[in-house]
A and B are shown apart, each in its own frame.
Chain A
């Protein structure tokens, strides 16, 4: 009989994070904190040219620098069969160290190994490389002409990487032609970069048994282990990947970088541990960038504002290698979500990708695999349509939203949106922002010539990759996993195949287990990131962790509960069928006073289990049946200074619907962070290359991260439309703020400038661009 006091649930509790004590005391374990006896430091020699033949590499001076132990080049790697690396996407490969030629400025050319950071830097400086510059292809439009072939190593002798399309081209073209109104706009989502504050890095160490211990900033440690095994030939059991604490990922730490391979080769060749930590400049110029989609958007509608058709044609700039970490069958990611929250009867989307002399990548920065680009296109497009028709953008959206009763809704581009309530979320947002009052204020201000704007983004995104039917990375299906073990005294440990880089899994995964098992989340230890102990998972990115691993954890916990029920029956001296789980404990059906807690059962699992198998643990590998579809309504209110072009974000409200919320404090924090990134993208971030292929934004003085002073104060709220298929109804939320916010900011600015006839401005919306748009519009009038 239970003598325990009331056991509470843990779902929806804003409990403080369990991982924080080490971080607030400066006792986190990041890769650069590691040190091993005899450890060497690695530095990379990089190309100053965007496109050039390598005539010669002279390492003799470098080898004479005190402290330098070795230097390797592309030729050395090629001889060892390691010259090229498969990209995650699988459609391409990339050079580890340049072989024959370089294809982007700052590309890796040689690796220097030395006794200290200073010696490695001195050694890198002493490597002499002779280049023969080649003509530069600095944009995808030029690339398309194939006047300069960038990748002679590929069989298809063209800069065109792939063509992808979805939907019905002919029907869409016809529907547009027959529409009362068509808005058409070229929109560029510029190249930007996730820039987590901790740069990428690793320590490679072979032990006395010949096992590689690879400590690395990886959002997907198991995939790294498999990939490294495939690339190097080292058997997978001899590889131990450890992702320790990671200082931000945002997709930047998903790809396997050349530096990692070089560090492993160096450690193997020299027989000493090798540490490689990149600089911020290296991070911004060579690691996975995001976006760079030139999109031609066409939306057709009847004159009363019912949408009839959507056509989007995109030119994608992938840089020198197609290293965009998309699932295999989706070279353009989830771009097909571009019909957004609306009932387009017909649509067509296509993407043509090209190589250029720029850093490789494409999928990063909380993009949910190109959902950021798609959401921007449709939300901007709908605003332009509203403007064209003279309709309030809110009315236009309401008119065309998928209605609550229409779910599950099959979109014209092949997604089945399983749940949502767009109208409700929008109403909540309108009320909270005080839309009517804002419109009145705007009317008053406009009469005085003041520029105030209100911008909306009512996005639907698609995350949770993903069902094995459709999704794989390097052939590995995108399931995830959990292993839970409960100890005799009611504590437990859960290991998952995901890897938090700040998302708070040490707390939220414990909350799921605690909720399912009626235990104290403070005593559920969470481990991720060690491939020797964690079950195989695909990692954390694209808001997939809660939809996949979160589900696996809930289901593994339920398996434990099933086993525990048998032991409970034994303790309560009734048949199994007479025991039910109620109010976080086991009860004899119909006899509420006869209960036993999970804690008591846990003890019995080891001390008094009867005929049952001893112990209390379970493992679950979870193949999600569908993606999840978080949605939201974001509203931005801005004031524009005519004379300086400065845009002040006066208010920003994010109402998110991510289904069931595990920890509202953590969800809110994720939203705050993503909104700040979306704000940066909308107003100040771009990785630009000039026409000669020179990277113009190589460090934080030129690639701008907003400070606490520029960043607006964020307001958040939630609606809850649970996922119908997820065991706890959760959908994921980490990427929604990046997906939804850029369009809200841009729409607000354009709304402010619309009395002047301004229709569109590409991001980043700089002061100069705003000032110019105002000046040109005033000139037209006067």
Chain B
């Protein structure tokens, strides 16, 4: 079936099987391999992308067909005009990543989070990221990174 999805502002129209998961559509049909697959049970969040600007979705638990006609933002769409998004900068500054595999999902969940809750506390960040697993960092620095990004975005809202 034909599926047409706008990904990071670019329209991708492909003929795919209905059973094609959005994660594989992005990775294999759009060539955007930043979105990762880490588990079978929607537990790990490595596959999180943002739909229609502010809804975080686990792309391994959604068919590409469902996203037909919608806009998807992946990690590759965060930086604008060559400039890193404050979240990306913050993860780098705060050592919020080690192997990098959970990072795209963490970034996209955080991106959606900050749209709804621009000023979360540490405890709120920990609650809101509980759908994304990390094995390397122990979460301390990820929380710091999200807090730094929140501060940066509050100070300069144009960057959102």
What are the residues of chain A within 8 A of B135 when measuring CB–CB? 194-197, 248, 250, 673, 676-677, 705
Q: Is the CB of A665 within 8 A of B95?
A: yes
Contact of B139 among A118, A247, A676 (CB under 8 A): A676
The segment out of A148-156, A484-492, A708-716 that lies at the interface is: A708-716
Residues 89-115 (chain B) with a chain A CB within 8 angstroms: 91-93, 95, 97-104, 107
Chain B's closest residue to A24 (CB) is B88
Chain B's closest residue to A675 (CB) is B138
Contact of A23 among B43, B74, B97, B126 (CB under 8 A): B97
Known: A198-B99, A247-B101, A676-B135. 19 other contacts (CB 8 A): A19-B100, A26-B76, A30-B33, A32-B27, A196-B99, A247-B99, A248-B99, A279-B40, A281-B40, A673-B135, A675-B138, A699-B40, A699-B41, A700-B40, A705-B135, A708-B125, A708-B132, A708-B139, A708-B143
Over the window 132-143 of chain B, the binary record of Cβ atoms lying under 8 Å from chain A Cβ atoms (1 yes, 0 no) is 111111111111
Q: Sample 8 A-B pairs with CB under 8 A, ordered by A number.
A: A16-B93, A27-B34, A30-B33, A197-B46, A248-B136, A280-B40, A677-B135, A708-B127
Q: Is the CB of B40 within 8 A of A197?
A: no
Q: Is the CB of B127 within 8 A of A709?
A: yes
B20 nearest CB across to chain A (Å): 8
- Bound Cα distance from A359 to B90, whole angstroms: 41
- Bound Cα distance from A714 to B132, whole angstroms: 19
B62 nearest CB across to chain A (Å): 16
Q: Is the CB of A24 within 8 A of B74?
A: no
- Number of residues on chain B facing chain A (CB within 8 A): 57
Q: Is the CB of A24 within 8 A of B107?
A: yes
Residues A26 and B43 in contact in the complex (CB < 8 Å), given A248-B101, A672-B137 = no
Q: Is the CB of B136 within 8 A of A198?
A: no
Q: Is the CB of B28 within 8 A of A35?
A: yes
B117 nearest CB across to chain A (Å): 15
Q: Is the CB of A669 within 8 A of B136?
A: yes
Contact of B130 among A21, A671, A709 (CB under 8 A): A709
What are the residues of chain B within 8 A of A24 when measuring CB–CB? 75, 84, 88, 91-92, 97, 100, 103, 107
Residues A25 and B79 in contact in the complex (CB < 8 Å), given A247-B36, A669-B95, A700-B43 = yes
Contact of A676 among B17, B38, B138 (CB under 8 A): B138
B133 nearest CB across to chain A (Å): 5
The segment out of A342-350, A501-509, A556-564 that lies at the interface is: A501-509
A200 nearest CB across to chain B (Å): 12
- Residue B44, interface by CB 8 Å: yes
Chain A's closest residue to B123 (CB) is A709
- Residue A3, interface by CB 8 Å: no
Question: Which of A117, A501, A669, A701 is most buried by chain B, counting CB atoms within 10 A of its CB?
Answer: A669
What are the residues of chain A within 8 A of B140 when measuring CB–CB? 672, 713-714
Q: Is the CB of B98 within 8 A of A669?
A: yes
Chain B's closest residue to A670 (CB) is B98
Q: Is the CB of A23 within 8 A of B33?
A: no
- Residue B65, interface by CB 8 Å: no
Q: Is the CB of B41 within 8 A of A701?
A: yes
Q: Is the CB of B44 within 8 A of A700?
A: yes
Residues 25-56 (chain B) with a chain A CB within 8 angstroms: 27-28, 32-41, 43-44, 46
- Residue B5, interface by CB 8 Å: no
Secondary structure at the A interface, as helix, strand, loop or mixed, is: loop
What are the residues of chain B within 8 A of A516 when measuring CB–CB? none
Residues A16 and B92 in contact in the complex (CB < 8 Å), given A199-B38, A281-B40, A700-B39 = yes
What are the residues of chain B within 8 A of A714 when measuring CB–CB? 138, 140
B100 nearest CB across to chain A (Å): 3
What are the residues of chain A within 8 A of B46 when measuring CB–CB? 197
B101 nearest CB across to chain A (Å): 3
- Residue B7, interface by CB 8 Å: no
Chain A's closest residue to B98 (CB) is A502
Pick the 6 closest A-B CB pairs, nearest first: A26-B34, A247-B101, A23-B100, A672-B138, A502-B99, A502-B98
Chain A's closest residue to B141 (CB) is A669
Residues 1-49 (chain A) with a chain B CB within 8 angstroms: 16-17, 19-28, 30, 32-33, 35
What are the residues of chain A within 8 A of B36 when measuring CB–CB? 30, 32, 197-198, 247
Q: Is the CB of A666 within 8 A of B95?
A: yes
- Residue A246, interface by CB 8 Å: yes
What are the residues of chain A within 8 A of B95 when measuring CB–CB? 16-17, 665-666, 668-669
Question: Which of A26, A250, A669 is most buried by chain B, counting CB atoms within 10 A of its CB?
Answer: A26
- Residue A707, interface by CB 8 Å: yes
Residues A20 and B92 in contact in the complex (CB < 8 Å), given A197-B134, A250-B135, A672-B140 = yes
What are the residues of chain A within 8 A of B134 when measuring CB–CB? 197, 673, 708
B149 nearest CB across to chain A (Å): 11
A632 nearest CB across to chain B (Å): 16
Q: Is the CB of A198 within 8 A of B101?
A: yes
Question: Which of B38, B91, B99 is most buried by chain A, counting CB atoms within 10 A of its CB?
Answer: B99
- Bound Cα distance from A243 to B20, whole angstroms: 28
Q: Is the CB of B137 within 8 A of A197?
A: no
- Residue A623, interface by CB 8 Å: no
- Bound Cα distance from A16 to B96, whole angstroms: 11
- Bound Cα distance from A16 to B139, whole angstroms: 17
- Bound Cα distance from A213 to B10, whole angstroms: 34
- Residue B129, interface by CB 8 Å: yes
- Bound Cα distance from A54 to B126, whole angstroms: 49
Residues 657-703 (chain A) with a chain B CB within 8 angstroms: 665-666, 668-677, 699-701
What are the residues of chain B within 8 A of A674 when measuring CB–CB? 138
Contact of A26 among B19, B44, B75, B122 (CB under 8 A): B75
What are the residues of chain B within 8 A of A279 when measuring CB–CB? 40
Q: Is the CB of B138 within 8 A of A711?
A: yes
What are the residues of chain B within 8 A of A248 when measuring CB–CB? 99, 101, 135-136
Residues A502 and B143 in contact in the complex (CB < 8 Å), given A195-B135, A673-B135 = no
Residues A197 and B99 in contact in the complex (CB < 8 Å), given A672-B140, A677-B135 = yes
- Bound Cα distance from A502 to B101, whole angstroms: 9
- Bound Cα distance from A700 to B143, whole angstroms: 23
- Residue A245, interface by CB 8 Å: yes
Q: Is the CB of B136 within 8 A of A30?
A: no
Chain B's closest residue to A194 (CB) is B135
